[in-house]
């Protein structure tokens, strides 16, 4: 089994309550083409580690991303050492449920689920929850060499949602992509739909919500 294979079972469950994370920052972002987006969350969150062996490494890097956002500054090497004597010591065998367990082991309550829609995903950013999704790398990167052929093979850390300032319609998302070494990568709703929704919409999100105090990011229980 590889990390992107769903092993949590059960129903998708209810989305988080709408009144969580009311202090999530928002601002107007101007895209390179001149279009404007109303962004909720962070475009560049905690810096990810970079490893070329993305199938074996990036799941833990995304876990480290989420943990740093909740004032638990760890890197891949730290997590690998902490997990050495646990069932999750093999990073290449880390499922979405496994990522939730890793976050739990490091003090951040989380669970794995199947997303219901792009709006369901946006809710996690807009409510201040840490979130990692599983996508098809070939579709996300537009590189046929990395196609999962309908299966997810790449984790991304969700950092923000983006909406049309006038209509409020969802336009896209921002992610940290540890396998490419890039943070704040924008994906419109079309590519996120093809790479995530159409490959099973697997994700892990935190029960904990983030709060922003000035320029400081803290984690609280919601």
**Residue 98: domain span:** 34-221
Give the whole-angstrom CA distance, residue 95 versus residue 152.
11
Mean pLDDT across 7-34 = 60
Q: Identify whether 143 is part of a domain.
A: yes
**Is it the case that residue 217 has pLDDT exceeding 50?**
no
Res 16 pLDDT > 60: no
Total of domains in the chain: 1
User: What is the enclosing helix (H) or strand (E) of 130?
Assistant: strand 129-135
Residue 64 lies in a domain: yes
Cβ contacts of 159 within 8 Å, gap of 6 or more? 41, 42, 43, 44, 45, 125, 174, 175, 176, 183, 184
Whether residue 94 lies inside any domain: the answer is yes
Closest C-alpha to 8, from 112, 128, 118: 112
Q: How confident is the model at residue 219 (pLDDT cuts 50, 70, 90)?
A: very low
Note whether residue 61 is domain-resident: yes
* Interacting residues of 97 by C-beta distance below 8 A, sequence separation 6+: 6, 7, 8, 112, 204
100 or 10, greater pLDDT:
100
Kindly state whether residue 78 falls inside one of the protein's structural domains: yes
CATH code for the domain of 169 = 3.90.70.10
Confidence of residue 186 (pLDDT cuts 50, 70, 90): very high
Q: Give the span between the Cα atoms of 217 and 117, in whole angstroms.
A: 27
> Is 75 part of a structural domain of the chain?
yes
In a domain, 11, yes or no: no
d(CA 106, CA 88): 12
pLDDT digits (tens, 9 = 90+) for 152-181: 989 999 999 999 999 999 999 999 998 888
Inside any domain, residue 133: yes
Q: pTM above 0.75?
A: yes
């Amino acid at each position: 089994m590889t990390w992107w294979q769903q092993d949590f079972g059960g129903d998708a469950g209810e989305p988080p309550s709408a009144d969580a994370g009311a202090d999530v920052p928002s601002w107007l972002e101007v895209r390179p083409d001149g279009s404007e987006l109303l962004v909720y969350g962070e475009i560049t969150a905690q810096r990810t580690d970079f490893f070329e062996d993305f199938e074996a490494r990036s799941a833990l890097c995304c876990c480290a991303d989420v943990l740093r956002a909740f004032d638990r500054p760890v890197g891949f090497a730290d997590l690998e050492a902490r997990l050495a004597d646990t069932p999750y010591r093999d990073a290449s065998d880390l499922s979405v449920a496994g990522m939730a367990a890793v976050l739990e082991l490091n003090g951040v309550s989380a669970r794995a689920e199947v997303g219901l829609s792009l709006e369901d995903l946006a809710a996690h950013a807009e409510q201040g929850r840490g979130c990692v999704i599983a996508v098809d790398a070939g579709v996300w990167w537009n590189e046929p060499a990395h196609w999962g052929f309908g299966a997810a093979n790449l984790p991304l850390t969700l950092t923000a949602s983006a909406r049309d300032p006038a209509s409020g319609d969802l336009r896209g998302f921002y992610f940290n992509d540890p396998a490419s070494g890039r943070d704040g990568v924008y994906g419109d709703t079309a590519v996120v739909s093809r790479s995530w929704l159409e490959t099973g919409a697997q994700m892990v999100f935190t029960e904990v919500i983030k709060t922003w105090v000035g320029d400081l990011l803290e984690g609280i229980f919601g």
